[in-house]
Amino acid sequence: MRPSGRDLSEMRPVSIETGVTKHAEGSCMIRMGDTHVLCTATIEDRVPPFIKGSGLGWVTAEYGMLPRSTTSRMRREASAGKQGGRTVEIQRLIGRSLRAGVDRVALGERQITVDCDVIQADGGTRCASITGGWVALKLAVNKLMKAGDVLSDPLVSPVAAVSCGIYAGQPVLDLDYPEDSEAGVDGNFIMLADGRLIEVQMSAEGATYSRDQMNQLLDLAEKGVGELVAAQMAAVA
């Protein structure tokens, strides 16, 4: 039995509320159980120097956790004068995951920055950020298309992410914090809507895992991503 009482292949309740901020070109609040992330997308008519003049667009991301998103207050990284290694790793993951679903030629020479701010954390914050980040990105792109600034949709596929792991010897979908903190194996799976993989992060936290277990986790992840893509499409419809 999982601490939450969910079935092994059951996701936490997922909701995506769009248009939650006034100024961003695209925004949403994604809630996966008790993990809540605010995602905003900003369009800028510039690109990083390394692709300037190439005609290619760029999608990047920033990620952060509010001080009381967890059970005890975390110090703001700004007060420490630098971002922590975990933050840098996660925002790079979000950026390259979202770029995997973008036709950068169709986007044109502009940059879209997706900001993901964790309001409340209960496991799976990077997966929620990627999933909600795509919704914010899609809403921003829709504005570009409506204004005639891009001629065809540069988003070739939804991008979503979900965690899976081995908890109490069983493969489970969408780990919350009590499971994540005790899982023998922990993984994050980022996919396109058709199930093609963008990235897999798997680690043995307390026990090694077999090829068969890896396949079971992939099957669970594909099911979970399918449900998340359905929620994404409903949010942007």
Looking at residue 142, what is its pLDDT? 98
Looking at residue 205, what is its pLDDT? 85
Please give the angle made by the CA atoms of 1, 129 and 216, to the nearest 5 degrees.
Answer: 40
Looking at residue 208, what is its pLDDT? 92
Looking at residue 206, what is its pLDDT? 82
Tell me the pTM. Answer: 0.96
Burial class (CB in 10 A: 0-12, 13-18, 19+), 230: middle
Name the residue among 40, 33, 35 with its Cα closest to residue 19.
40
Sign for the pseudo-dihedral over CA of 98, 94, 182, 71: negative
Tens digits of per-residue pLDDT, 169-188?
999 999 999 999 999 999 99
Instruction: Give the mean pLDDT of 11-36.
Output: 98
As a whole number, the mean pLDDT across the chain is 96
Instruction: Give the mean pLDDT of 26-33.
Output: 98
**pLDDT band of 45, cuts 50, 70, 90:** very high
Alpha carbons 42 and 215: distance in angstroms, whole number: 38
Burial class (CB in 10 A: 0-12, 13-18, 19+), 76: exposed
Looking at residue 82, what is its pLDDT? 84
Range 42-69 burial, b when 16+ CB lie within 10 A, else e = bbeeebeeeeeeeebbbbbbbbbbeeeb
pLDDT cut 70: percent of the chain above it: 100
Looking at residue 124, what is its pLDDT? 96
Name the residue among 112, 194, 116, 99 with its Cα closest to residue 155.
99
Instruction: Give the mean pLDDT of 53-59.
Output: 97
- CATH H-level, domain 14-236: superfamily: GHMP Kinase, N-terminal domain (3.30.230.70)
Q: Which residues are annotated as a binding site for phosphate?
A: 86, 124-126
Looking at residue 161, what is its pLDDT? 98
Tens digits of per-residue pLDDT, 181-220?
999 999 999 999 999 999 999 999 888 999 999 999 999 9
Tens digits of per-residue pLDDT, 63-94?
999 999 999 999 988 888 888 999 999 999 99
Q: Which residue, chain included where needed, has tokens 């009590």?
A: 178
Name the residue among 11, 46, 43, 45 with its Cα closest to residue 27.
43
CA torsion 105-233-16-22 (nearest 10°) is 50
Q: Which residues are annotated as a binding site?
A: 86, 124-126
**pLDDT band of 125, cuts 50, 70, 90:** very high
Looking at residue 193, what is its pLDDT? 97
CA–chain centroid gap for 20, Å, is: 18
Alpha carbons 117 and 128: distance in angstroms, whole number: 10
Residue 235, C-beta contacts closer than 8 angstroms, at least 6 positions apart: 16, 17, 18, 28, 135
Tell me the β-bridge partners of 62: 115
Alpha carbons 119 and 135: distance in angstroms, whole number: 17
Tens digits of per-residue pLDDT, 128-178?
999 999 999 999 999 999 999 999 999 999 999 999 999 999 999 999 999
